[in-house]
Structure 1
Amino acid sequence: MDRLSGLDASFLYLETPAQLMHVCAVMVLDPTTMTTPYSFEVLQREIDLRVRDVPAFTRKVRGVPLGLDHPVWVRDKAFDIERHVHRLALPTPGGYDELTDLCAHLASLPLDRSRPLWEMWVIEGYRPEGGESEGEKVVVFAKMHHATVDGVSGSNLVSHLCSIEPDAAPMVTDEQPAHPRDPGRRELLGRAVLGTAARPVTLVKVLKPSAELVTKSIGRARRGTAMAAPFSAPRTSFNGTITSHRSIAMADLDLDEIRRIKKVTETTVNDVVLAVAGGALRAYLAERDELPESSLLATVPVSVRDSSRRSTGANKVSALFTKLGTDIDDPLARLRMLSERNLHAKEHHNAISADALQDWAEFAAPRTFGLAVRAYANLRLAERHPVVHNLVISNVPGPPIPLYFMGARIDALCPLGPVFHGAGLNITVMSNAGQMHVGAIACRESMPDTDALVRHFPAELARLSEAVGSLAGER
């Protein structure tokens, strides 16, 4: 029996009609590299062949009687690729605006929980530069529920569909684990009762290290070496109750330039990305006369896959909070501030057990948790208490070389994370063959024109590059 971990299940409980908990990706493909001419039927059939024996693609959620425990994964015996891989065509002229509008609409639709929690939309007729049909690209818009993947496991799943040469085998060809067994109702109920009875003992084991962590965090705060604190964020127009409508924007950054800045300033790629994001957010808010005096606060997911003691569960993540320096105009000064604060944040984060979030998530009661989330949304409580954080920013490492999806070269790969009540903006960046692809998704009512934010990313990288160039000249 394959039980969902508490953290995986929490993403199911967090989901409401407005707060959708799937992650998405926009893959722009060049079909001219395919060994056989592109056709949707062939592409769909090849995807079917590669995913049919991979449990992560063919399992579905089954609830436990009375909601006494987290759900389990069971095999979908009626798995049908036609229910997961669909075909669409962009309206004329088939450019960037039409693509982002369509992807935003698809991101606004919930996944069907009666089937495996993923789908792909193959979008034909994309003309990135508004060119002729000979320059058309194929776009795959993929969705997968967060209960199934985090950033790292999502990248690993994509490996089942990609290769390093157009005619090569998939990057992952190892034998897959057995499909989850479908337990009977009595077994589910019995295991749930035993698990519930053992929770007080588990709680005692979790409380002691958590109490010690609070004491140490207070000490760090007094010394000025703690990470930024939640509930200290200023309120912006995208920090309220969200709807199900989404807006999407994408941009590309030069990864070599980011690495050059990192080397000259002795910082990290993540520091540079956060500094550029802070500058872009500052410019966006200033254009709208919304720039707060204090810095925006971001939640930055951190993978703990290498340090976790847990062998099960798709999501193995923690998070740290960081000020983005939106109150600093000088891009180089912002980068230096972020670098220093991120060192403290990482040290603070490393002092926390890698499994702390997963341990506490085990106590998320299915019924109670879901009702609380809906009550929180219906009462619009996100607008009545101090802002926990302004947005989520993720940096997902990608392949350093070009990848091929069913033989088609991936020209761009933009991941998109979920947005939450109180934090209606998510920015995810992913490296891919020398480029850093930026994907932003927001609640449309809070940020109707996400492109107005994303177009500042290349400009802010140029500002930072110029400032670093001046610094190198002084030396």
Structure 2
Amino acid sequence: MDRLSGLDASFLYLETPAQLMHVCAVMVLDQSTMPASYSFGALMEHIDESIHDVPEFTRKIRRVPLGLDHPVWVRDQQFDIERHVHRLAVPSPGSYRELMDLCAHLAALPLDRSRPLWEMWVIEGYRPDGEEGDERVVVFSKMHHATVDGVSGSNLISHLCALEPDAAPLARDEEQRHPRDPERVELLARAVIGTATKPVTLVKVLGPSAELITKSIGRARQGTAMAAPFSAPRTSFNGTITAHRSIALADIDLDDIRDIKKATGSTVNDVVLTLCGGALRAYLDERGELPETSLMASVPVSVRESSKRSQGANKVSAFFTKLGTDIEDPLERLEMLAERNRHAKDHHNAISADALQDWAEFAAPRTFGLAVRTYANLRLAEKHPVVHNLVISNVPGPPMPLYFMGARIEALYPLGPVFHGAGLNITVMSNAGMVHVGAIACRESVPDGDALVQHFPQELERLRKAVVAR
């Protein structure tokens, strides 16, 4: 029996009609590389063949009676690829603007929890260069966060991708194992035992957590702690969100980022966060909304290599960092971020890799879900200090070109969830020498995401010139 970990299940409990907990991706394909000419039917059949033995694509959730424990995964015995792979066309004239509006609409639709928690929308007729450009096929994918995190989601793409147009999809490392469908009595018995042992587990978690708090206070006094939550300035995207979404995409050169990293002794992540800070500063300044103090981001961190837990799709933690939006000079901002990120990483490394997962085990299904809905209905995100302004994720991607069902992946833009109180998410992914930036937001908070992402190439050029002139 495959029980969801507390962290995986938390993404189910966090979901409301406005706060959707799936992760998305926009994949732009060049179908001219396909061994045979493109057809939707052949593409769907190929996808079906590639994923029918992959549990993450064919399992669904089954709730525990009375909500006594986290749900379990069971195989969908009625799995039907036609319920998951759909076909659409970009409205005329099929340009970037029409594609973004369509993707934003799809991102705002919840996944059906009675089926495996993923969908793909194959979108035809996209002309990235306008009416005269060559057409591209776009795949808009959605997977629930209970099923994947950034790294595992990236790995799942390998089931549908290859290194050559006519090669077989990349092989899966571990053995395939489909979840067993338990009897109702077994579910209840395990839930009762799990509930009875929670006090013992709580005692084991409290000790290390209390020690961590003490050490964090010491770090704060020494000025070596990560940024503290609830200390971010309020912006237009820090309130209660709606179900409407806006999406915007941008591309920057990975070699330029690496050159800056090498010249300054920083990291790729430092440079990316510096660009995010500069883009946000320019965006808010244009709107007359730039706060005097720095914006703060929550940055997810994979703990897959250091986690002692074998189960669970999500192996993540996070740290908080200030983005230097109060600093105009891009090089000064990078130097500040590099230093603060070193402190934040040291602080984060002192925390158990499984701390977040350990505490998530105590999320009660009914209570947690009710609390989230009450929080949204009372608009509490607008009444307490801002926890953090946004989420920024940096997901490593393939260094070489990949082929999706024979079509070369020209671009792969990741899109994470947005939350009440933090209605903007920026996720970047490297892909064959480029860095693809995906920004998704509550539409009422950020109606024009392009006004934000257009600053990424500009900020990269500003930073590059500052490094050269140093």
Match of 2:139? Answer: 140
Give the SS at the match of 2:238.
coil
Correspondence for 2:57? 57
Task: Return the letter of the residue paired with 1:465.
Answer: R
Aligned to 1:303: 302
What residue identity is the alignment partner of 1:79? F
For 1:281, what is the secondary structure of its paired residue?
helix
- Cα deviation, 1:42-80, whole Å, max 9, x if unaligned, reads 000000000100000000000000000000000000000
Query: Structure 1 residue 178: deviation in Å?
Result: 1.9
Report what 1:455 is aligned to: 454
Partner of 1:47: 47
Alignment partners' CA distance in 1, 2:174 and 2:317: 29
Letter in 1 for 2:449: T
Map 1:99-114 → 2, pairs under 5 A: 99-114=99-114
1:267 aligns with 2:266: yes
Q: CA deviation at 1:176?
A: 3.8
- The match for 1:23 is 23
Question: Is contact 2:84-2:120 (8 Å) kept?
Answer: yes
Superposition deviation, residue 268 in structure 1: 0.4
Q: Which residue of 1 aligns with 2:278?
A: 279
* 1:122 aligned partner, one-letter code: V
Q: Distance in 2 between matches of 1:274 and 1:193?
A: 45
Distance 2:177 2:417 in 1: 30
Kept in 2: contact 1:300–1:393 (CA 8 A):
yes
Asked whether 1:378 is paired with 2:373, we answer: no
Question: Shift of the alpha carbon at 1:171?
Answer: 1.2
Q: Which amino acid aligns with 1:2?
A: D
CA deviation profile, 1:246-301 (whole Å, cap 9, x unmatched) = 00000000000000000001100000000000000000000011000000000000
TM-score in terms of structure 1 length: 0.98
Q: Cα deviations across residues 301-334 of structure 1 (Å, max 9, x unaligned)?
A: 0000000000000000000000000000000000
* Letter of the 1:38 counterpart: Y
Residue in 2 aligned with 1:210?
209
- For 1:235 and 1:288, locate their aligned partners in 2 and report how far apart those are by CA, in whole Å: 14
1:171 aligns with 170
The residue type paired with residue 124 of structure 1 is: E
- 1:153 match: secondary structure: helix
Q: 1:90-116: CA deviations, max 9, x gaps?
A: 111101000100000000000000000
Q: Which amino acid aligns with 1:199?
A: K
SS in 1 for 2:357: helix
Task: State the partner residue of 1:239.
Answer: 238
Q: Is the 8 A contact 2:424 2:440 kept in 1?
A: yes
CA contact (8 A) 2:53 2:176 kept: no
1:159 aligned partner: 158
**Partners in 2 of 1:5 and 1:98 — Cα distance?**
39
Please name the residue that 1:290 is paired with. 289
SS at match of 2:399: coil
Q: Secondary structure at the match of 2:148?
A: coil
Counterpart amino acid of residue 129 in structure 2 = E
- 1:258 equivalenced with 2:257 (yes/no): yes
| Overall identity of the aligned pairs, in % | 80
1:403 corresponds to: 402
Q: Name stretches of at least 5 consecutive residues in structure 1 with no aligned partner.
A: none
Secondary structure of 2:340's counterpart equals: helix
**Contact preservation (8 Å) 2:94, 2:131:** no
Structure 2 gaps of 5+ residues are none
Secondary structure of the structure 2 residue equivalent to 1:427? strand
| AA at the equivalent of 2:223 | G
Aligned 8 A contact 1:95 1:127 in 2: yes
* Conservation of the 8 A alpha-carbon contact between 1:65 and 1:189: yes
Rounded to whole Å, the distance in 2 between the matches of 1:155 and 1:293 is: 37
Asked whether the 8 Å contact 2:249–2:438 carries over to 1, the reply is yes
CA RMSD of aligned residues (A): 0.7
> Does the CA-based 8 Å contact 1:121-1:142 persist in structure 2?
yes
Q: Which residue of 1 aligns with 2:67?
A: 67
Which residue of 2 is the match for residue 77 of structure 1?
Answer: 77
In 2, the alpha carbon distance for the partners of 1:152 and 1:193 equals: 33
Tell me how far apart the structure 1 counterparts of residues 456 and 78 of structure 2 sit (CA, whole Å).
45
- For 2:221, the equivalent position in structure 1 comes to 222
**Partners of 2:375 and 2:232 in 1: CA distance:** 19
> TM-score, with normalisation over the residues of structure 2?
0.99
Tell me, what secondary structure is at the counterpart of 2:425? Answer: strand
Counterpart of 2:241 in 1: which secondary structure?
coil
Residue of structure 2 equivalent to 1:91: 91
Q: Any conservation in 2 of the 1:233–1:388 contact (CA below 8 Å)?
A: yes
Q: Distance in 2 between matches of 1:402 and 1:193?
A: 50
Q: Partner amino acid for 1:97?
A: R
Contact 1:53 1:176 in 2 (8 A): no
Partner Cα distance (2:170, 2:85) in 1: 21
Query: Equivalents in 2 of 1:456, 1:105: separation in Å?
Result: 24
Question: Which position in structure 1 is the counterpart of 2:10?
Answer: 10
Deviation at 1:174, TM superposition (A): 4.8
Distance 2:421 2:442 in 1: 11
2:29–2:138 CA contact under 8 A, matched in 1:
yes
Tell me the SS of whatever aligns to 1:25.
strand
CA distance in 1, matches of 2:193, 2:147: 25
